[in-house]
């Protein structure tokens, strides 16, 4: 049986003091966590090291929000996988729709990042999802297929075990418009079927597929009760301990 994985993407929010405060609040609530639920926090780079120290021995995972695919070198402003590992990260979000849309990251670049994260020992949270225009013109499944297929080029079935896929319809991110549980479940089933075609039935059965897009305490239970939704990638609602905890306690 797959566990549920709830990850909070803080985006470009919280300086160091605010991060310390938020982690304290989350730690206060975490004692109610069930065994089959995993919680991951993804603060900005500047708060990673401090957060790693604060969450030690709590069972909370630590993720970054991006990384470069090269080992090191003249890439001003970039952060490598090795640097993330050195401050205690075990996860990294890759291919978030904001990286794709605002920073122009194509599937091929995301694939390079996924491969580097995996060869370095980081577990990627690999984000995919269609825009509103793509949903409205009926190309949701084609877009999801293209993003999954191109993103996973050259990734072995062994490495796939470390990948979490986050299906995040772009029209539901930060908009308050959540996909209905049925809409989300339909795409999750499609992604699982695609993984079966690309890899095997076993890979498809075991891969964690999170849903992301305006998840909050009030809608978490019905979304996460869907058989193919294995957790959530949370943006806005993870910035308050009360609402983030409300999501993982709602399951």
Kindly write down the DSSP assignment for every residue of the chain, as one continuous string: -PPEEEEEE--S---HHHHHHHHHHHHHHGGG--TTEEEEEE--GGGHHHHHHHTTTS--EEEES---SSSSSS-TT---HHHHHHTT--EEEES-HHHHHHS---HHHHHHHHHHHHHHT-EEEEEE---HHHHHTT-HHHHHHHHHHHHTTT--HHHHTT-EEEE--GGGSSSS-PPPHHHHHHHHHHHHHHHHHHT-HHHHHH-EEEEESS--HHHHHHHHTSTT--EEEESGGGSSHHHHHHHHHH-
Q: Is 218 in the site for ligand PEP (CB under 6 A)?
A: no
Residue length of the chain: 251
Q: Is 128 in the site for ligand PEP (CB under 6 A)?
A: no
Q: How far is the CB of 129 from ligand PEP (least distance, A)?
A: 9
Q: Of 42 and 89, which CB lies nearer to ligand PEP in the complex structure? A: 42
Q: How far is the CB of 56 from ligand PEP (least distance, A)?
A: 26
Q: Of 168 and 228, which CB lies nearer to ligand PEP in the complex structure? A: 168
Q: Is 213 in the site for ligand PEP (CB under 6 A)?
A: yes
Q: Of 9 and 147, which CB lies nearer to ligand PEP in the complex structure? A: 9
151 neighbors 128 (Cβ within 8 angstroms) = yes
Q: Is 173 in the site for ligand PEP (CB under 6 A)?
A: yes
Interface residue with ligand PEP among 5, 9, 64, 229 (CB under 6 A) is 9
Subset of 149-168 contacting ligand PEP (CB under 6 A): 168
Q: Of 89 and 179, which CB lies nearer to ligand PEP in the complex structure? A: 179
Q: How far is the CB of 53 from ligand PEP (least distance, A)?
A: 25
Stretch that binds ligand PEP, among 54-62, 105-113, 135-143, 207-215 (CB under 6 A): 207-215
Q: How far is the CB of 177 from ligand PEP (least distance, A)?
A: 9
Site for ligand PEP, rule CB under 6 A = 9, 168, 173-174, 212-215, 233-237
């Amino acid at each position: 049986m797959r566990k549920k994985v709830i990850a909070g993407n803080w985006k470009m929010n919280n300086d160091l003091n605010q991060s310390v405060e938020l982690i304290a609040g989350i730690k206060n609530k975490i004692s109610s966590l069930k065994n089959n639920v995993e919680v991951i926090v993804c603060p900005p780079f500047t708060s990673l090291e401090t957060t790693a120290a604060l969450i030690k021995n709590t069972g909370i995972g630590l993720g970054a929000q991006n990384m470069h695919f090269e080992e090191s070198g003249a890439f001003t402003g970039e952060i490598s996988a090795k640097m993330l590992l050195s401050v205690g990260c075990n996860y990294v979000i890759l291919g978030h729709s904001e990286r794709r849309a605002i920073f122009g990251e194509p599937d091929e670049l995301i694939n390079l990042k996924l491969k580097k994260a995996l060869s370095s020992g980081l577990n990627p949270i690999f984000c995919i999802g269609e825009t509103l225009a793509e949903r409205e013109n009926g190309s949701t499944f084609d877009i999801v297929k293209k993003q999954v297929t191109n993103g996973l080029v050259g990734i072995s079935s062994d490495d796939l075990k470390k990948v979490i896929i986050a299906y995040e319809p772009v029209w539901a991110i930060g908009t308050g418009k959540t996909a209905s549980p049925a809409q989300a479940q339909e795409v999750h089933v499609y992604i699982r079927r695609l993984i079966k075609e690309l890899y095997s039935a076993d890979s498809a059965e075991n891969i964690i597929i999170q849903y992301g897009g305006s998840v909050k305490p009030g809608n978490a239970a019905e979304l996460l009760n869907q058989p193919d939704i294995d957790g959530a990638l949370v943006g806005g609602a993870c910035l308050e301990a009360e609402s983030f905890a409300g999501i993982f306690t709602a399951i």
